[in-house]
């Protein structure tokens, strides 16, 4: 079993192919190995499709090869019937003698029951191999089940002198083309994207994926008095949109109006609703007040900030996450822009 970390790393690589496609399911990768040689691989590449273990097992036509093999999987195999049959039952049926599991599933329907059943049928189970990496792989999934809310990514672009908006710039764009393309890639990877009313009024954003290939996120915005007119892109019905408001309004095609109380903490109400909708991850793109609400409440997991090669001298100051609250996990340059990614100290891995 000296190769177990090598094969688990490969399973993690495979799982990442499902990024942005598997939600509300986790990303899962599977490798079947015998005598140091990979016999088969699989990953869960889309929700409602077969799981990684099923694909890896069924790729092997000669079942004799399964004798004395080891199955590596990034997340505990499922034990319940959902959109597909339980992977645990298939592993038992095929007489696979050993299973190496990256991390236990946090969902109550599984949560150790898959491992328990494998052991009950005499299968050797090795647990928690590269556990931290497997947890980071499914940070959205774990946050959803452990904190009962989506994984929250704060994102904004600011000038070199710390402003996010100025009347001195046209179309409100300060980041370069590479940063904007990366931002659209991020959108394709997450379930939802949230903005406030002023951002809609100032920028008239489409909040879709135009500069990348992939699915559009659910558009979400806050409009207390329903002051945004149908002439704005966000209400064009081109993709599913959720509007949080204090008023009652009948749903329209692809647009759902959710009435909440603005006398209570609106963030908690929004996140509770998104949790019920099984939205596992959320990008918060603005504006300043909306971003600062999440920061002040300390309800965020990751912050992605572009420091752009422009000086505005005046305007709307960018939000700030102090060193006390956020730890820098990554810095990189995209042409003339710099990307800084911070993790919430409270939730860092």
Q: And the tokens for 265?
A: 């903490």
pLDDT at 171: 66
The percentage of the chain sitting over the pLDDT mark of 90, rounded to a whole number, equals 84
Of 139, 162, 193, the residue at which a domain comes to its end is 139
Q: How confident is the model at residue 99 (pLDDT cuts 50, 70, 90)?
A: very high
Mean pLDDT computed over 33-57: 94
pLDDT at 280: 98
Domain co-membership, 53 together with 201: no
Domain co-membership, 67 together with 153: no
Nearest to 167 by CA among 25, 313, 35: 313
Q: Is the pLDDT of residue 27 over 70?
A: yes
Q: How confident is the model at residue 242 (pLDDT cuts 50, 70, 90)?
A: very high
Domain co-membership, 17 together with 161: no
Return the minimum-mean-pLDDT range out of 156-165, 168-177, 183-192.
Answer: 168-177
Alpha-carbon separation of residue 337 from 167, 223, 251, 332, 340 (angstroms): 21, 32, 40, 9, 10
The percentage of the chain sitting over the pLDDT mark of 70, rounded to a whole number, equals 97
SS3 7: helix
Task: Encode pLDDT of 254-297 as tens digits.
Answer: 999 999 999 999 999 999 999 999 999 999 998 899 999 999 99
Neighbours of 227 (CB within 10 A): 10
Backbone angles phi and psi of 186, in degrees to 5 = -60, -40
Domain co-membership, 152 together with 283: yes
Of 139, 170, 198, the residue at which a domain comes to its end is 139
pLDDT at 100: 98
Neighbours of 24 (CB within 10 A): 13
Which residues are part of the catalytic machinery?
Answer: 53
Q: Tell me the residue range of the domain where 50 lies.
A: 4-139
Mean pLDDT computed over 154-167: 92
Return the minimum-mean-pLDDT range out of 40-44, 103-107, 268-272, 319-323.
Answer: 319-323
Domain co-membership, 120 together with 252: no
Domain co-membership, 198 together with 121: no
pLDDT at 231: 94
Q: Number of helices (H) and strands (E), helices first, in the chain?
A: 10, 16
SS3 24: coil
Instruction: Evaluate whether 244 touches 258 at the Cβ level (below 8 Å).
Output: yes
Q: Is the pLDDT of residue 141 over 90?
A: yes
Q: Is the pLDDT of residue 224 over 80?
A: yes
Measure the CA–CA gap between 33 and 37, rounded to whole angstroms.
5
Domain co-membership, 208 together with 92: no
Q: Is the pLDDT of residue 347 over 70?
A: no
Q: What is the CATH number of the domain that holds 30?
A: 3.40.140.10
Measure the CA–CA gap between 232 and 108, rounded to whole angstroms.
42
Domain co-membership, 122 together with 176: no
pLDDT at 348: 54
Q: Is the pLDDT of residue 324 over 90?
A: no
Q: Is the pLDDT of residue 228 over 90?
A: yes
Residue 11 burial by Cβ neighbours in a 10 Å radius (0-12, 13-18, 19+): buried
SS3 266: helix
Domain count for the chain, please give it.
Answer: 2
Mean pLDDT computed over 24-49: 94
Domain co-membership, 311 together with 163: yes
Domain co-membership, 77 together with 188: no
- Distance, C-alpha 74 to centroid of its chain: 17
Task: Encode pLDDT of 175-198 as tens digits.
Answer: 999 999 999 999 999 999 999 999
Q: How confident is the model at residue 168 (pLDDT cuts 50, 70, 90)?
A: confident
Alpha-helical regions (H) of the chain? 4-15, 52-58, 87-93, 113-120, 131-137, 139-147, 177-189, 197-203, 266-276, 288-296
Alpha-carbon separation of residue 124 from 70, 75, 92, 114 (angstroms): 9, 16, 11, 13
Torsion 72-10-67-65 (CA) sign: positive
Q: How confident is the model at residue 326 (pLDDT cuts 50, 70, 90)?
A: confident
Q: How confident is the model at residue 84 (pLDDT cuts 50, 70, 90)?
A: confident
Alpha-helical regions (H) of 20-127? 52-58, 87-93, 113-120
Domain co-membership, 83 together with 156: no
Measure the CA–CA gap between 31 and 94, rounded to whole angstroms.
15
Mean pLDDT computed over 117-146: 97
pLDDT at 59: 94
Of 87, 119, 139, the residue at which a domain comes to its end is 139
Neighbours of 270 (CB within 10 A): 21
pLDDT at 49: 85
């Amino acid at each position: 079993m000296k190769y177990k970390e090598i094969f688990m790393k490969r399973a993690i690589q495979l799982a990442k192919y499902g990024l942005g496609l598997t939600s509300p399911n986790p990303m899962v990768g599977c490798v079947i190995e015998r005598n140091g040689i990979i016999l088969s691989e699989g990953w869960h590449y889309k929700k409602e499709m077969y799981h990684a273990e099923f694909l890896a097992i069924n790729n092997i036509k000669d079942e004799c090869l399964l004798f004395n093999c080891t199955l590596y999987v990034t997340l505990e195999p499922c034990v319940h019937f959902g959109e597909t049959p339980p992977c645990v039952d298939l592993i038992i049926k095929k007489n696979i003698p050993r299973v190496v599991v990256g991390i236990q599933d946090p969902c109550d329907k599984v949560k150790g029951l898959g491992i328990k059943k494998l052991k009950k049928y005499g299968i050797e189970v090795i647990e928690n191999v590269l556990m931290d990496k497997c947890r980071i792989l499914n940070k959205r999934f774990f946050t959803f089940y452990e904190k009962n809310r989506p994984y929250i990514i704060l994102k904004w672009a600011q000038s070199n002198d710390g402003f996010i908006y100025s009347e001195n710039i046209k179309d409100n764009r300060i980041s370069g083309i590479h940063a904007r393309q990366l931002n659209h890639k991020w959108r394709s990877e997450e379930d939802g994207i949230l903005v406030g009313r002023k951002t809609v009024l100032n920028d008239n954003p489409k909040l879709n994926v135009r500069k990348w290939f992939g699915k559009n996120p659910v558009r979400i915005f806050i409009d207390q008095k329903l002051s945004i007119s149908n002439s704005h892109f966000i209400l064009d019905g081109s993709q599913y949109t959720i509007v949080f408001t204090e008023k009652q309004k009948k749903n329209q095609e692809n647009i759902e109006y959710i009435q909440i109380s603005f006398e209570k903490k609106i963030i908690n109400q929004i996140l509770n609703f998104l949790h019920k909708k099984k939205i596992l991850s959320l990008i918060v793109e603005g504006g300043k007040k909306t971003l600062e609400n999440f920061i002040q409440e300390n309800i965020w997991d990751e912050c992605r900030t572009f420091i752009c090669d422009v000086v505005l001298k005046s305007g709307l100051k960018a939000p700030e996450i102090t060193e006390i609250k956020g730890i820098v996990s990554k810095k990189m340059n995209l042409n003339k822009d710099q990307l800084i990614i911070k993790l919430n100290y409270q939730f860092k891995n």
